[in-house]
Every structure is written in structure tokens, then in C-alpha cells.
């Protein structure tokens, strides 16, 4: 035993006192303290009955594996403790975190390494950490259904077991019943990407005992992950994703589920019952847990439009909530703001799982990254004083035709970076509107929308809209290999460790890029869904169609001296798939409008400034942003 471990045990013994004295617990000075031994913690696996038969073979209910690590001392004193839970499909196939850690086991199948730092940091502070293999992955029965009943129920069943409402067993088959008598019933779910998505889904069931969730770069509506208002996003299919994470031995048994995944997600982008089952926003009214949302505003995998509707629905219900928005892509805050993140998460879990009155519920709601490693806070989000302002789209000299119309021809080889690079140059594949040079900072906080009346020359058409901050800046390199971070050669340790689970992780730094323009919000639609998302329809060439493009939520300040630009074009290469024709699109400006959530205030817009600029084309040449990297056809949700 190390000197540190010995001292910790001595400290713990002093707090616990001799047998028969009052049990002090781990909370002191307004925070849980690392007073328990990580090395001596109880490590075990329980298989929880989900009540489902995923392989549809009639052989009985599926059981999912819950690997548990919990401090030994509270159990010895008959004291119950809260749980931090991460339910994931990635514990064997792909790994978790920037270090891609997987679960490891000894020769008898007992857990050794618990991926990520949750166990190392929180177990000594009096929490149990439970890592659940989603149905069909690693050591769990069943089939992966990508956000449906199997995913959500396999995690919810563990919450129920921790609250005495489900049955757990000592083995995957047969075994003896196991109770969670050590758990106090308070559960907090956390996780990045698919893991955080499951946390959203479980919260939307309203399950009792789930006190908080921390979804990081998570999905709230699977339709919006694969489709954007009917337009197919460059993400592969749910069936592909299931095959990617499933236990190979299970895949052959899951043919029926695979068929359902293929049939339920047609390429035409129609909304149906398959997607309805995977829309957690629709059930936000059931959420009882507090929610701490974390997202990268430049995440082009799980895009920012995934947190926006979820946040708005939670706000309407008055759910206690907090939000961090970074400039990164698909990155965990542990890897871009490590110390502040761990401190904040510690306070969050202490408050909502242990009941510590540490004031985190009264702190500013929002932390926003303004530039690499530079953060600001707001009491609420969107920022106080934000209002939806109408921004006029005025015809100008660039691309404007007679009668207040503009037009462009879809070029599926071009993307938003190419458009931004040519923001002041006439090209046939786009139309640009610009505010002119701003005299004051202009803050966009929340979700905007662009309503267009458009005619297509062909029977099918996709449309893209992006907001651009035109001007020099240093940003996180969200399109680089690390999506805004560099992985260094050094390590730092968080919490306690053992030789098989050290609690040490690779350090990181901000990866930056010098740019001449920054795309900070985007949206896409399929014009064939002009009448309804339920059914794609062929367009009548030359006929006008009116649709509203929902722009992804953001919080961005366009500084004085820069310009705000709107680019409207066809296919955004590598982000959406092209239509089956190559249309020329004509926009009727007299029946089109842009709405932006603009914030008035001393730190954003000088009082007396007009609430919104008129945007018209402008003409100085500008070269910005390198071409985007090719993205894999199969999205990796890790």
C-alpha cells in the first residue's frame, strides 16, 4: 500500500471513529472529501433483468451487465450511498474518452479497469460508480436498437434495480438474485455522445430515482441526427451504427432487429413511428431530473441542433439546468477545461445526489467559450435581453436579379468552407448577404431561422444556410484531427488509482487556427418535405415553395470591425447528401426573412444601435478556411 493510500485510510478511520460512534460520512466543508480507500473498494458485476427479449427467441428476458465499484467503508457501517452511472455501447468495441479506455477484467471476470475518471475521483468521495453495457454490447444480452426501447430500457432497468424495482443476478445466466442494498436510490447519469443520449432517453421516461443527468455532446432526437428537415445527413444508417458496436457473437442473433432498423429509417427522410420512438424532446414533460448540458458549438457529428430543442423544452418545464458551450467539435470537457470541469461536476453531483447546499444551483447558468480557453458566464441562457429580431434580406449588386430574386445552382462538390472562402466573390453555387462592417459587437445567443420562398428547376432540391463571422480570428481548430484539442505526451492523475486503473490520463491543450471567417451556425432542408416531414413529394419545376430552415443554436459575438454574413446554397458537401437532381434555385426575397436571436446589452450591442442590420451582398475578395476534411460515411458517435 502506498504512503498516500495509508494516509487516506488513517484519515478515513479518524472520520469514521471507533465502532459504535457516529458515522461522519464524506461531506465536510461543503463538499464530499476523498476519505475512502479506492484500492479496497468493492468491485462486482450484477446482471439486471430488462424485461425484454431482444433476439425474439423466446428464451427469456435479456440481462444487462452493470459493473460496479463502490467504497467498502459505508457498506461496513450500513450506510447507503448515491450512484454515478454511465450506460454505454462502447466499453469493449471502441473505448471511452480521449485515451480510448475499455473495460478490463481478471481471469474470473471481475472488473479491473473502469474507463474514464469517474471511479477514481468519486469513489473515494463516497459515490458508487456503475458502468452499464447497453443491450447487445460487451457482456450484455439483447440487441442494439440505436436509441429505441432496448437502449433506453437496458439503462432504465439498472436505475430501477438500484431503487429496488428490478431484479439483478450474480451471473449472466442462472445465478442468484442480488439486491442493491448499499444504494440510497439517488442516481446521476452522465456520458458523452451515445452515452449522454441514453441519459436523455432515460430521463424522458420520468423514472423515479434519477436525480440528475449530464449529457455531453448528446442526441435528443435521433431523427435530427440522421436527417435535417428531411435532408439526409452524412451519417450512414442506424443499422450500420448497430453493427459497429454490437458484440459480434450477438449480431447473428439480431437479424430481426437489424431488419427493423433498416426498414424504420428510409433514405427519403420521412418522419415515422421509428423516429417518433427516438424523440426524447417529445417526452421532456416527464423529466424529473436536473440537467447539465454540455456541447461543442462546432460539433459536426452530434450537431448543436441536438441540444437546442431539448434545452428549450426543459426550460418550458422549469427543469433545474445548467449549460456549458465550447468552441470545440465532438470533445469532452475533461479534455478542454479539465480542472474547472471536474470541480464543477463535483459540486453538481454533491448538490443533486448528496444534497449538499454548495450554491451551484444559484451560480450563473451558462459558461460560454468566447475564444480558445477564454470563457464568459451568463445568469441565464439564452442570454438575458435576447430577442428574435427580423433581419432584412435586401437585394444588392452581387447575385441579385430583377424583381428582388437571387439564384444559384447546386454544386455537390462545394461546402460551407468553400462558400465562406468566396464570401465576397460571385460564384454560381451560392447567394451571399452581408451586413457591412459592424460598428459595435453583435451577439447571437440562441436559435435563429431563415424562411425562404424558393423555386427549383428540377423535381428535387436540398438547401443549406450558414451564418458567417467575416473577419480575422483565432479559433479552436474544430476541423482538425482533435476537433479543437491537441493530445500531449504528459499525463495527469485525477483521484486515486491502482496498477490496473491508474486514474491518469493524457494531458491536452487547445488546437487553434488563424482564420479569415468563421461559420458559426448552419441548417439544412429538403424542399421535397415542404408540406410535411411525414412524406417527401416531388417538386413542380418553377413552382414556389415556402419553408423555414431552422438554424442551429449558438452563442457567438461578431465583433466590431467584422461583418455578419448569411450564405444560402444547395448541398453542403460532406455534411448532407445531394439530391438526385442538380437544381437551380431561385429565392424570392420579398417573401423571405431571417430571424436571429440578438442580444442587447453593454457587453454586446451598444445602446441605441439599430437592433438588426440589413444584409445585402458586398464585394471585397477574401480567402479563408482550408477545405473540410472528408468525414467517414459511418459516423462515430464516441
- pLDDT tens-digit readout, 72-127: 999 999 999 999 999 999 999 999 999 999 999 999 999 999 999 999 999 999 99
- How much is the pLDDT for 2? 39
Catalytic: which of 295, 330, 346, 562?
Answer: 330
- Residue 477 · residue 325 · CB < 8 Å: no
- How much is the pLDDT for 234? 86
354-393 per-position pLDDT tens digit: 999 999 999 999 999 999 999 999 999 999 999 999 887 8
- How much is the pLDDT for 21? 33
Catalytic: which of 270, 279, 299, 367?
Answer: 299
DSSP codes of every residue in 126-174: T-EEEEEEPTTSTT--S---SSSHHHHHHHHHHHHHHTTSS-EESSSSS
* Residues with Cβ within 8 Å of residue 636, at least 6 apart in sequence: 94, 244, 301
Give CA–CA dist 467/557, Å, rounded. 12
Q: Three-state SS across 291-342?
A: EEEEEECCCCCCCHHHHHHHHHHHHHHCCCEEEEEECCCCCCHHHCCHHHHH
Name which of 575, 540, 562 is nearest 618 in CA terms.
Answer: 562
Grid coordinates 495527469 are at which residue?
A: 492
- How much is the pLDDT for 252? 79
pLDDT at 620 over 50: no
% the chain with pLDDT above 70:
89
pLDDT-based confidence at 624, cuts 50/70/90?
very low
| Alpha-carbon distances of 363 from 70, 380, 436, rounded to whole Å | 30, 10, 38
pLDDT at 250 over 70: yes
pLDDT-based confidence at 150, cuts 50/70/90?
very high
- Residue 428 · residue 605 · CB < 8 Å: no
Mean pLDDT computed over every residue of the chain: 89
Give CA–CA dist 204/196, Å, rounded. 12
pLDDT-based confidence at 435, cuts 50/70/90?
confident
294-308 per-position pLDDT tens digit: 999 999 999 999 999
Higher pLDDT, 524 or 10: 524
- How much is the pLDDT for 613? 52
Give CA–CA dist 565/435, Å, rounded. 6
- How much is the pLDDT for 55? 85
pLDDT at 1 over 60: no
Catalytic: which of 150, 193, 220, 464?
Answer: 193
Give CA–CA dist 549/231, Å, rounded. 11
pLDDT at 220 over 90: yes
Grid coordinates 442462472 are at which residue?
A: 174
442-501 per-position pLDDT tens digit: 999 999 999 999 999 999 999 999 999 999 999 999 999 999 999 999 999 999 999 999
% the chain with pLDDT above 90:
82
- How much is the pLDDT for 164? 98
Grid coordinates 460551407 are at which residue?
A: 416
The grid cell for 569 is 446554397
Give CA–CA dist 87/198, Å, rounded. 7
Average of per-residue pLDDT across 567-584 = 96
330 is catalytic: yes
Average of per-residue pLDDT across 553-564 = 96
Average of per-residue pLDDT across 36-65 = 92
Domains and their CATH numbers in the chain? 3-378 (3.40.50.1820), 389-472+515-599 (2.60.120.260)
DSSP codes of every residue in 83-125: EEEEEES-TTTT-BTTTTB--EE-TTS-EEE-SSSHHHHHGGG
- How much is the pLDDT for 398? 29
Name which of 54, 57, 62 is nearest 158 in CA terms.
Answer: 62
Higher pLDDT, 445 or 622: 445
Evaluated on CA atoms 152, 200, 301, 551, the torsion sign reads: positive
Amino acid at each position: 500500500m502506498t504512503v498516500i493510500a495509508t494516509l487516506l485510510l488513517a484519515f478515513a478511520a479518524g472520520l469514521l471513529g471507533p465502532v459504535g460512534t457516529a458515522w461522519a460520512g464524506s461531506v465536510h466543508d461543503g463538499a464530499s472529501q476523498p476519505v475512502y480507500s479506492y484500492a479496497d473498494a468493492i468491485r462486482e458485476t450484477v446482471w439486471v433483468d430488462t424485461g425484454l427479449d431482444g433476439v425474439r427467441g423466446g428464451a427469456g428476458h435479456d440481462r444487462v451487465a452493470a459493473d460496479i465499484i463502490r467504497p467498502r467503508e459505508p457498506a461496513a457501517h450500513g450506510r447507503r450511498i448515491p450512484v454515478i452511472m454511465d450506460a454505454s455501447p462502447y466499453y469493449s468495441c471502441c473505448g471511452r474518452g480521449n485515451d480510448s479506455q475499455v473495460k478490463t477484467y481478471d481471469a474470473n471476470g471481475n472488473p479491473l479497469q473502469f474507463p474514464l475518471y469517474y471511479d477514481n475521483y468519486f469513489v473515494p468521495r463516497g459515490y458508487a460508480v456503475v458502468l452499464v453495457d447497453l443491450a447487445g454490447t460487451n457482456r450484455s444480452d439483447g440487441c442494439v436498437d440505436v436509441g429505441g426501447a432496448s437502449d433506453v430500457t437496458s439503462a432504465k432497468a439498472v436505475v430501477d434495480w438500484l431503487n429496488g424495482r428490478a431484479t439483478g443476478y450474480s451471473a449472466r445466466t442462472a445465478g442468484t438474485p442480488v439486491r442493491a442494498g448499499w444504494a440510497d436510490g439517488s442516481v446521476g447519469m452522465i456520458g458523452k455522445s451515445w452515452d449522454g443520449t441514453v441519459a436523455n432517453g432515460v430521463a424522458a421516461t420520468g423514472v423515479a430515482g434519477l436525480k440528475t443527468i449530464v449529457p455531453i455532446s448528446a442526441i435528443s432526437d435521433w431523427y435530427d441526427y440522421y436527417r435535417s428537415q428531411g435532408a439526409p445527413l452524412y451519417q450512414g444508417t442506424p443499422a450500420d451504427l448497430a453493427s459497429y458496436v454490437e458484440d459480434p457473437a450477438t449480431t447473428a442473433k439480431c437479424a430481426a432487429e437489424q431488419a427493423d432498423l433498416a426498414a424504420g429509417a428510409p433514405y427519403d427522410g420521412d418522419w415515422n413511428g421509428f423516429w417518433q420512438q427516438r424523440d426524447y424532446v417529445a417526452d421532456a414533460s416527464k423529466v424529473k431530473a436536473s440537467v447539465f448540458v454540455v456541447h461543442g458549438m462546432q460539433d459536426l457529428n452530434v450537431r448543436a441542433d441536438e441540444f437546442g430543442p431539448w434545452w428549450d423544452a426543459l426550460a418550458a418545464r422549469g427543469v433545474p439546468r445548467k449549460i456549458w458551450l465550447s468552441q470545440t467539435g465532438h470533445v469532452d470537457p475533461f479534455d478542454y477545461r479539465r480542472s474547472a470541469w471536474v470541480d464543477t461536476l463535483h459540486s453538481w453531483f454533491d448538490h443533486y445526489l448528496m444534497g449538499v447546499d454548495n450554491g451551484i444551483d444559484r451560480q450563473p447558468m451558462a459558461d460560454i467559450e468566447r475564444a480558445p480557453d477564454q470563457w464568459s458566464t451568463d445568469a441565464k441562457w439564452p442570454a438575458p435581453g435576447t430577442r428574435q429580431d427580423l433581419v432584412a434580406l435586401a437585394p444588392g449588386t452581387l447575385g441579385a436579379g430583377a424583381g428582388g430574386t437571387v439564384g444559384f445552382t447546386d454544386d455537390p462538390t462545394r461546402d460551407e468552407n468553400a462558400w465562406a472562402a468566396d464570401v465576397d466573390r460571385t460564384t454560381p453555387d451560392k447567394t451571399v448577404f452581408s451586413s457591412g462592417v459592424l460598428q459595435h459587437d453583435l451577439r447571437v445567443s440562441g436559435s435563429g431561422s431563415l424562411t425562404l420562398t424558393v423555386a427549383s428547376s428540377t423535381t428535387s432540391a436540398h438547401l443549406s444556410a450558414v451564418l458567417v463571422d467575416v473577419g480575422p480570428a483565432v479559433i479552436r481548430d474544430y476541423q482538425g484531427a482533435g476537433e479543437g484539442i491537441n493530445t500531449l505526451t504528459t499525463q495527469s492523475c485525477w483521484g486515486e488509482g491502482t496498477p490496473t486503473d491508474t486514474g491518469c490520463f493524457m494531458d491536452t491543450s487547445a488546437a487553434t487556427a488563424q482564420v479569415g471567417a468563421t461559420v458559426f451556425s448552419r441548417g439544412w432542408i429538403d424542399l421535397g418535405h415542404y408540406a410535411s416531414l411525414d412524406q417527401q413529394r416531388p417538386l413542380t419545376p418553377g413552382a414556389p415553395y415556402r419553408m423555414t430552415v431552422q438554424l442551429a443554436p449558438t452563442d457567438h459575438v461578431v465583433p466590431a470591425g467584422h461583418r455578419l454574413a448569411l450564405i444560402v446554397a444547395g448541398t453542403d458537401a460532406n455534411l448532407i447528401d445531394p439530391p438526385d437532381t442538380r437544381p437551380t434555385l431561385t429565392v424570392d426575397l420579398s417573401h423571405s426573412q431571417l430571424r436571429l436571436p440578438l442580444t442587447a446589452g453593454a457587453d454586446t450591442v451598444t445602446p441605441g444601435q439599430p437592433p438588426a442590420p440589413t444584409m445585402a451582398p458586398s464585394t471585397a475578395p477574401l480567402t479563408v478556411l482550408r477545405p473540410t476534411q472528408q468525414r467517414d460515411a459511418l459516423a462515430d458517435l464516441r
